[in-house]
């Protein structure tokens, strides 16, 4: 049983204007994990979310920088625990699944367990969100290899190792993508467990925008490709520039072979410039790939400097 393990557990709840639901979240997780610290991170709410969370028995931390990514950065920096449970404050996730998620983390000596959302309620998990999640998940899988079925789930359990080595660069809802790519890039042992997903209670409104946040997540994926796979990113640019330069140069070469003249000088200059730009991109990819390898090694050393969850249990 989780409650019998000699580990400290912190339930971290990022919330913004969740006065309608935060008390239920706190009480449900208090019931599921009676020995855990429950901390609500209030992100400039204007509806009394902080007061409701405090009245329900949670610790409350104010985060002034707006955005879920900024909240996650503060959560992992400020809270010390052996196991971190991150869950949204909208009462859509099953608190009763938390012990199973933690047991999977501890038994498998893992660094992250994702609560994959399963729901029969159309209002809980809209078709647009499902489609966007699948598309983005497949995109990340193509670039980074193995991934998760529900990459954008807000219900996750982390080891201390993960929390203290996570750089947290994003500011908004794209933080879930960053969490996933961090685990994949570091090749951390991870797992995924299906958990029930509920629709929001009446009076509670989602802060997500399918198109706006989907676009921001897509941009985040591009940035992560540039950061984590710079050789692939810049080599793609090199190949595109080279192909376009060749397409433009073929008619010029044919004309030159027949007449010995280059009548379309601007096209010749453009073709040469594209080759030069592609060469610069290729060099950038080679240099940044070396830099990324060094940065990845530094992140690995930071990760290894934190004892794993198993070491806590064998003391």
Residue 177 maps to a domain: yes
Q: What is the CATH number of the domain that holds 47?
A: 3.90.550.10
Q: Based on the domain organization, do 85 and 203 belong to the same domain? A: yes
Q: Are β-strands 112-118 and 156-159 bridged in parallel, bridged antiparallel, or unpaired?
A: antiparallel
Residue 312 maps to a domain: no
Neighbours of 127 (CB within 10 A): 9
Q: Based on the domain organization, do 39 and 182 belong to the same domain? A: yes
Domain holding 34, by residue range, is 2-228
Q: Where are the alpha helices (DSSP H) in 186-264?
A: 210-228, 230-259
Q: How far is CA 231 from CA 56, 143, 170, in A?
A: 50, 12, 22
- Each residue's pLDDT tens digit, 10-60: 999 999 989 989 999 999 999 999 999 999 999 999 988 999 999 999 999
Task: Confirm if 194 and 118 have CB atoms less than 8 A apart.
Answer: yes
Q: Based on the domain organization, do 102 and 222 belong to the same domain? A: yes
Q: Based on the domain organization, do 199 and 247 belong to the same domain? A: no
- Each residue's pLDDT tens digit, 241-297: 999 999 998 888 888 788 877 788 888 899 999 999 999 999 999 999 999 888 888
Q: Based on the domain organization, do 139 and 253 belong to the same domain? A: no
Q: Based on the domain organization, do 221 and 234 belong to the same domain? A: no
Whether pLDDT at 216 is above 80: no
Residue 310 maps to a domain: no
Q: Based on the domain organization, do 8 and 72 belong to the same domain? A: yes
- Each residue's pLDDT tens digit, 143-190: 777 677 888 888 999 999 999 988 888 777 778 888 988 888 888 999
Residue 187 maps to a domain: yes
Rounded-to-integer distance, Cα 68 and Cα 175, Å: 7
Residue 185 maps to a domain: yes
Q: Based on the domain organization, do 239 and 123 belong to the same domain? A: no
Rounded-to-integer distance, Cα 181 and Cα 177, Å: 6
- What pLDDT does 209 receive? 61
Among 228, 256, 287, which residue terminates a domain?
228
Residue 47 maps to a domain: yes
Q: Based on the domain organization, do 91 and 204 belong to the same domain? A: yes
- Each residue's pLDDT tens digit, 78-100: 999 999 999 998 888 999 999 99
Q: Based on the domain organization, do 181 and 255 belong to the same domain? A: no
Task: Confirm if 48 and 65 have CB atoms less than 8 A apart.
Answer: no
Task: Confirm if 79 and 9 have CB atoms less than 8 A apart.
Answer: no
Q: Which residue has the higher pLDDT, 219 or 283?
A: 283
Among 186, 209, 228, which residue terminates a domain?
228
Rounded-to-integer distance, Cα 168 and Cα 175, Å: 7
Domain count, the chain: 2
Residue 309 maps to a domain: no
Q: Based on the domain organization, do 169 and 300 belong to the same domain? A: no
Among 176, 209, 228, which residue terminates a domain?
228
Q: Based on the domain organization, do 259 and 121 belong to the same domain? A: no
**Residues 6+ away with beta carbon under 8 Å from 185:** 144, 228, 296
Residue 150 maps to a domain: yes
């Amino acid at each position: 049983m989780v409650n019998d393990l000699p580990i400290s557990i912190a339930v971290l709840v990022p919330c913004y204007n969740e006065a309608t639901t935060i008390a239920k979240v706190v009480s449900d997780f208090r019931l599921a994990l009676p020995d855990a610290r429950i901390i609500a991170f209030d992100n400039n709410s204007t509806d009394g979310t902080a007061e409701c969370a405090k009245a329900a028995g949670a610790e409350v931390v104010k985060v002034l920088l707006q955005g879920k990514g900024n909240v996650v950065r503060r959560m992992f920096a400020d809270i010390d625990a052996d196991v971190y449970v991150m869950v949204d404050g909208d009462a859509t996730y099953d608190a009763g699944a938390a012990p199973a998620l933690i047991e999977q983390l501890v038994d498998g000596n893992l660094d992250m367990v994702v609560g994959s959302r399963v729901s029969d309620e159309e209002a809980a998990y809209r078709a647009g969100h499902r489609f966007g999640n699948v598309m983005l998940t497949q995109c990340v899988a193509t670039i980074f290899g193995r991934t998760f079925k529900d990459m954008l789930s807000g219900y996750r359990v982390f080891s201390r190792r993960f929390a203290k080595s996570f750089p947290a660069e994003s500011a908004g809802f794209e933080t879930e993508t960053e969490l996933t790519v961090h685990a994949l890039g570091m090749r951390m042992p991870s797992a995924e467990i299906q958990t029930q997903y509920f629709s929001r209670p009446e009076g509670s409104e989602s802060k997500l925008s399918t198109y706006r946040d989907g676009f921001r997540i897509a941009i985040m994926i591009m940035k992560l490709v540039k950061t984590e796979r710079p050789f692939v990113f810049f080599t793609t640019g090199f190949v595109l520039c080279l192909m376009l330069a060749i397409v433009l140069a073929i008619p010029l070469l044919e004309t030159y072979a027949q007449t010995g003249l280059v009548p379309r000088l601007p096209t010749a200059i453009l073709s040469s410039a594209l080759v030069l730009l592609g060469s610069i991109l290729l060099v950038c990819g080679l240099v940044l790939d070396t830099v990324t390898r060094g940065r990845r090694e530094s992140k690995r050393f930071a990760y290894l400097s934190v004892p794993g969850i198993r070491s806590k249990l064998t003391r």
